[in-house]
Structures are given as structure tokens and as C-alpha cells.
Chain A
Amino acid sequence: MRILLAEDDPMLGDGLRAGLRQLGFQVDWVRDGEAAERELASEVYAAGVLDLGLPRKDGMDVLQALRARRITTPVLVLTARDAVPDRIRGLDLGADDYVVKPVDLHELGARLRSLVRRAHGQMQDSLRCGGVLLAPAARQVSLNGEAVALSTREFDLLHTLMRNAGRVLSREQLEEQLYSWGHEVESNAIEVHIHHLRRKLQPDLIQTVRGVGYTVLRTPETA
């Protein structure tokens, strides 16, 4: 899951980026409000973590501008402003969650997963498609009850596809979701990962729409 982190404090930004990466998130870090607005507006991020006291443009203004442009990327506000009026204003301006510093990294990760899940209309953390069950928090995948070992990229790719089940995603969209800044993407990397996933799981799990992209078909829930 690719996350944008907007935080001007060098030490905290560094810690959050490293910590969220340990939890399996792809993290890009910007240090001012203008960059935060520009990057979140690109809609390649599954969610954003936004500090409010940012240089150049205050976090509240960034949030307001994004929502005015009808950009629905979930945003978690992470701030030192703990007054109730600030919380109310932040949530009313379009924040999906409002967390006061300091925050536990695992809690922050869980809140981000929850935001992304809700943004896709899911009720539960785990995703199911046929016999494939994906648990994002534990980063585990099983096929008909049997655990399957996947690489980080393979897991992220499958997670992105299953999260967007029923939607066709282009190779570029998948690359954007999968790779944070500073990672070179080889031209056929996505094809290679898709190939591995089909081999390790089910050949018909991921469908190719020629000339458009890839999709996982939404299957009726078998409760």
C-alpha cells in the first residue's frame, strides 16, 4: 500500500517513514504543504498522513483544497493540535481520521489499513476471492486454507488488485501503487509478478484485459 507522509519535522518524518516501511507500507515523504497537496492530488496513494503545522501551506488548507477538488484519497491527520475545536474542524474539512501525536506505529498502521478498507467499502480487514484469502495486517495469503509464501512485491500487487476487485488497473497504475520514490521499476516487473502470482495461487485469479490492464473479478461473498 503506497502512503504519502507529509511531515516537516526531520526526525519524526524519518522515524515514521522507516516504521511504516517495516509494517509493509510503501512510503513517500514530503516536507511542506504545497508538495503534500500536489502529491495527494495525483491520486496514486492509497492514503495520506498529514501533519497540520506544515511550512508553505497549512495542513488544514491542504485538506480543504483537496476536498474542493473532489479528491477522495483517505487522509489521516497526525498533529500536535489536540484541542477539540481543532479536531472538529479537521474532521469537518474532510480528514478521515484525526490522531494526536505521539502515536504508536502499529496503531497508525492499523488506522491506515482501516481507512483504505473503508474507502473501498469493505467491512473486514481480510479480502477473499474464490479460494484466496488475504490478510493485510498479518501480510499473509492462503489458498483454500493453506498458507502461501509471497514476496513483498507479489503481496502488494495482489493486495492492490484484490482491494480494487472488479476494476481494471493499468500497468502504470499498478506501478504507481507499488513503488515509492527512489525505486527503479523494470519495464516488465509487473508482468513477472503477475506470472508468479498465477503460478503460486490460481491461474484464473488475475485476468488480463489486453491493451488495458489487469483485474481480479469480484466474487459473490460466501459467508
Chain B
Amino acid sequence: MRLQSSFNSLQARLLVLVLGVAAIVWLAAAALIWRDVRHELDELLDGHLAQAAALLVVQQAAHHEDDKMADAPSLHKYAPRVIFQVFHEGQLVQRSAQAGATPMSETGRGFSTVRLADGSEWRVFATQGAERDVQVYVGEQTDSRSAILRAVLRSVLLPLLVALPLLALAGWWAVLRGLLPLRHLSEALAQRRPEALEPVVLQDVPAEMQPLVQALNGLFGRMERLLESERRFTADAAHELRTPIAAIRAQAQVALGAGADEAQRQHALQATLAGCDRATHLVEQLLTLARLEAAPAGANDGVDLGGLARRVLAELAPGALLRHQQLELDVAASCRVTGNDMLLGVLLRNLVDNALRYSPDGASVQVSVALEAGQAVLRVEDSGAGMTAQEMARLGERFYRVPGHAQPGSGLGWSIVRRIAQVCGAQVQTASSERLGGLAVSVHWPAPDQRAA
């Protein structure tokens, strides 16, 4: 079913509802009045009929020796609406001017409604004298009763006809006033620049509209964060990809210009491929970070840290073996921590990959999962060169790379690790490794949900 377009307007809908309800209530009241008035009227007028009949019986009893027929004069302009007949021993002895000669009703006693020969409808009360020789009929035209009823009803309904347009006008104004905050909101929204994402601020927002405005501002906030991370991603990607692409280009040109120098061409082509891998890695890291920054903070499902570490280390072990690096995992206790399986995998991969990448060939990297004072702790230690306090302090700045490393890196791994820890409610600490002498990175979950395996 299609709604008319005007019914899509809140104002029109409210107005129609208010006026409709008012009209229905009024009509219902009129119907009740009609019923009551008719009932009272019938009682009253029937009473009058009965009383008139009684008078006629009494009068006939007093004068029944005088049995010649008499017509009562019509004394009032309403007289034709009321008729009577008096019969004595079957003889019509008295009647009103408009009454016929035959009994107007077949009922000898009590009330009846009859239709006379001229088609008019009458309410008739019939009664008899004590000796049953006198038969009296008193009739009243039902039209007159309806006329009274109609007059009553008119006096009820007529004001409604006048009041309804007035009510409509007043209702229109009231609805307009009532919906003013809504109009303010729509005006405020209409006047915004399309790219504006700051929250909507309105004075005196009614309680019903608070959730709407809050939801709207929440949406603006989320869009702002999303756009901001998109902007940063684009700017970062444009900036950070320049160097790898410049390297790829330079190496490719060296390969082209190598001429007879086959060794140089091979070297340059290898470097070109490595440059492509590096650019790919950088783009992946940037995308991961952009998605993480738009992701709402907050932990979700539980993750088995030991099992996750086993999977990640299995992935990274072949590369470590190629460089004769020892990669070890020590799961002292089964820890289930808050977080997301995929995100924690990225975190762990970044930490272990960094440790392997920045440690020399033959170095060892140890990963441990343990419970310390009720806290789940993930620790990655290496026997590499370690870091100075200043270098540790600068970790996590976007694109910061510890100087002096020949290994290619995006400078984003730490930003990713920190952001994931934040999302999963964990804390990251860096220190010097006591066991291996290199860097030790530990991730702590403040309130672990521990379970024995």
C-alpha cells in the first residue's frame, strides 16, 4: 500500500491524526446524546400521550349520555401534529380535527406505531374506560419527535463543523511549534558543508531528539576517524612509496645500462625484485595500520596465546633457518587472553619478524608465553644488537627506523604492534634482554582469563 506523499510529512500526519481523533470523539459524543435524548423524549412524550388519553377517558365517562359526535377545534398551530379519537361502544364520539373515522390503531391498549392512509407515521396510545365501553386513541406524529431530535443533534454537531477548521488551524500551529527543534536540526544539517564532520550542536534539544542527535554525532565521529585514517594512508603511501619506487627505478635502469657487465645486471635485477617485495610489504603494513586505526578499540573473543605463538613461529621458522637463526618457543602456561585471533597473529608476527630481521645471522630469538603474578605475558627476546634508551623511546613513531640497519623495513611494524595492543587491551614494554643480550619486548594483559589446558 502506498502512502500519499503528504503523509510522509510528520506535520500533515500529526494534523490528520489530531483532527481525525477529535472528529471521532465528537461524533461518538453526538451518537450518545442522540440515544439519550431520544430515550428521554420518548418517555416524556409517551407520558403526555398517556395522560391525554386518561383525560379523554375521564371526560367521556362524565359526558357519555351526550353521545353525538363532536370534533374538537384546532387551537394551536401544533394541534395537527396531535390527534385523538374517542369511541363509545364502537361509535366515534369525539375526535380532533385531523383524525379519521376509523380507529387509528389495531391495538386496543398500550403504545403502537402506525402508518395512516396518507402515509404519515404516528405514535398511538390506546386505552379503554373502566367498563370497556370507551375506547380512546391519542396519536402523535413521529415526525415531530424526529424534528426535536434533529434540532438537538444540530445544536451538538453544528459547533463541530465550525470548530473543526479552527481546530485544524490551531493544530497546524501547535504541531509547527512542537516540531520546531526538528526543523532546526534539519536546517543545521542542510547548511553544513558536505565534508563537514564536526558534531551537530543544537540549543534545547528535546529529550525525544537527544538519541537521534547523539546517534548522528556518533556517526559523524566514526566517519571522521575513517576519513582521517584514509587521508593518512593516502599521504603516507604517497610519501613512503617514493623511496622504494625510486630504488626499483634506479636498479632497473642500471640493469638496462649494464651492457656487457653480466654480474652488474644480475645484481641490479635482484635488487629490483627485492625492491618490489619491499614496496609490497610497505603497502600491506600501511593497509593493516589504516584498518586498525579505523577499528574501534575494545577486546572481543578469547585467544589461546600458546597455540597462536606455535602457528606464527611455524610460519617464520623456515626464513630463520635459512639465516641459521635459532627460533625457540617456551609455553610455560596455557593463557587465554582477550583479543582477536587475526590481530594478535599480526602483532606476534611483527614482533618475531622484527627480532629475526634485525638480529644477525646465527642469532637466537626466544618467544615465551607465561603467567606472571596472574598476568598473561608474551615475551620476544633476541640476541641482536639491542637498542639505546633513545631509540626505544622513538619506537612506534610512524616510519621511524632505527638507523644503521641494512635490512629493509617499513618503519610501521611498531605502530601496528602498539595499535593492536591498544585494541586488545594489552600493554607493550621494551627492555634489554637479560638472557640473550639483545632487545626484549613483552606484552602484558592486565586481567587474563586463565584456564588450565
Q: How far is the CA of A45 from the CA of B249 in the complex (A)?
A: 25
Interface membership of B70, Cβ < 8 A: no
The tally of residues in B whose CB lies under 8 Å from a CB in A reads: 28
Interface membership of A101, Cβ < 8 A: yes
Q: How far is the CA of A100 from the CA of B240 in the complex (A)?
A: 12
Given A55-B403, A56-B403, A101-B243: A15 in contact with B251 (beta carbons within 8 A): yes
Please state if B278 and A22 are interface contacts (CB–CB under 8 Å).
no
Interface membership of A19, Cβ < 8 A: yes
Please state if B245 and A19 are interface contacts (CB–CB under 8 Å).
no
Which residues 237-269 of B sit at the A interface, judged by CB distance below 8 A? 238-240, 242-251, 253-254, 257-258, 264, 267-268
Pick the interface stretch among A4-12, A122-130, A166-174: A4-12
Which A residues are CB-close (under 8 A) to B246?
A: 12, 78, 80, 101-103
Q: Chain B nearest CB: distance from A109 CB in Å?
A: 10
Q: Chain B nearest CB: distance from A191 CB in Å?
A: 30
Residue from B242, B245, B274, B404 within 8 A of A55 (CB atoms): B404
Which B residues are CB-close (under 8 A) to A82?
A: 238-239, 242
Please state if A12 and B404 are interface contacts (CB–CB under 8 Å).
no
Residue from A14, A22, A32 within 8 A of B271 (CB atoms): A14
Q: Which residue of A lies closest to B405 (CB)?
A: A10
Interface membership of A81, Cβ < 8 A: yes
Please state if A11 and B278 are interface contacts (CB–CB under 8 Å).
yes
Interface membership of A104, Cβ < 8 A: yes
Interface membership of A63, Cβ < 8 A: no
Please state if B408 and A80 are interface contacts (CB–CB under 8 Å).
no
Please state if A101 and B242 are interface contacts (CB–CB under 8 Å).
yes
Given A14-B271, A56-B403: A105 in contact with B254 (beta carbons within 8 A): yes
Residue from B238, B239, B251 within 8 A of A14 (CB atoms): B251
Interface membership of A16, Cβ < 8 A: yes
Which A residues are CB-close (under 8 A) to B248?
A: 102
Please state if A11 and B275 are interface contacts (CB–CB under 8 Å).
yes
Number of cross-chain contacts by CB at 8 Å: 79
Please state if B408 and A19 are interface contacts (CB–CB under 8 Å).
no
Which B residues are CB-close (under 8 A) to A105?
A: 249-250, 253-254, 257
Which B residues are CB-close (under 8 A) to A102?
A: 242, 245-246, 248-250
Q: Chain A nearest CB: distance from B268 CB in Å?
A: 6
Interface membership of B3, Cβ < 8 A: no
Interface membership of A137, Cβ < 8 A: no
Which residues 74-113 of A sit at the B interface, judged by CB distance below 8 A? 78, 80-82, 100-106
Interface membership of B162, Cβ < 8 A: no
Given A10-B406, A12-B247: A19 in contact with B242 (beta carbons within 8 A): no
Q: Among B247, B257, B274, which residue has the most Cβ atoms of chain A within 10 A?
A: B247
Q: Chain A nearest CB: distance from B236 CB in Å?
A: 11
Residue from A11, A18, A101, A103 within 8 A of B264 (CB atoms): A18
Please state if B275 and A19 are interface contacts (CB–CB under 8 Å).
no
Please state if B250 and A15 are interface contacts (CB–CB under 8 Å).
yes
Given A8-B403, A10-B408, A12-B250: A22 in contact with B257 (beta carbons within 8 A): yes
Q: How far is the CA of A55 from the CA of B112 in the complex (A)?
A: 119
Q: Chain A nearest CB: distance from B292 CB in Å?
A: 24
Q: How far is the CA of A17 from the CA of B10 in the complex (A)?
A: 73
Q: How far is the CA of A56 from the CA of B403 in the complex (A)?
A: 8
Q: How far is the CA of A104 from the CA of B268 in the complex (A)?
A: 15
Q: How far is the CA of A16 from the CA of B78 in the complex (A)?
A: 125
Residue from A8, A9, A18, A103 within 8 A of B268 (CB atoms): A18
Please state if A100 and B243 are interface contacts (CB–CB under 8 Å).
no
Q: How far is the CA of A106 from the CA of B280 in the complex (A)?
A: 26
Please state if A100 and B250 are interface contacts (CB–CB under 8 Å).
no
Please state if B403 and A22 are interface contacts (CB–CB under 8 Å).
no
Q: How far is the CA of A169 from the CA of B246 in the complex (A)?
A: 37
Residue from B239, B243, B249, B267 within 8 A of A9 (CB atoms): B243
Q: Chain B nearest CB: distance from A221 CB in Å?
A: 34
Residue from A16, A55, A80, A81 within 8 A of B250 (CB atoms): A16
Other than the known A18-B254, A18-B267, what 18 A-B pairs have Cβ atoms closer than 8 Å?
A9-B243, A10-B408, A11-B278, A11-B408, A14-B247, A15-B251, A15-B254, A15-B268, A16-B250, A19-B250, A19-B254, A19-B257, A55-B403, A56-B403, A80-B242, A80-B243, A100-B242, A103-B249
Residues of B at under 8 Å CB distance from A? 238-240, 242-251, 253-254, 257-258, 264, 267-268, 271, 274-275, 278, 403-404, 406, 408
- A and B contact pairs by CB, cutoff 8 A, 9 listed: A10-B408, A11-B244, A11-B271, A11-B275, A12-B244, A18-B250, A23-B257, A55-B403, A103-B246
Residues of A at under 8 Å CB distance from B? 8-12, 14-16, 18-19, 22-23, 32, 55-56, 78, 80-82, 100-106
Q: Which 7 A-B pairs have the closest CB atoms?
A: A15-B250, A102-B246, A12-B247, A55-B403, A101-B246, A80-B242, A11-B247
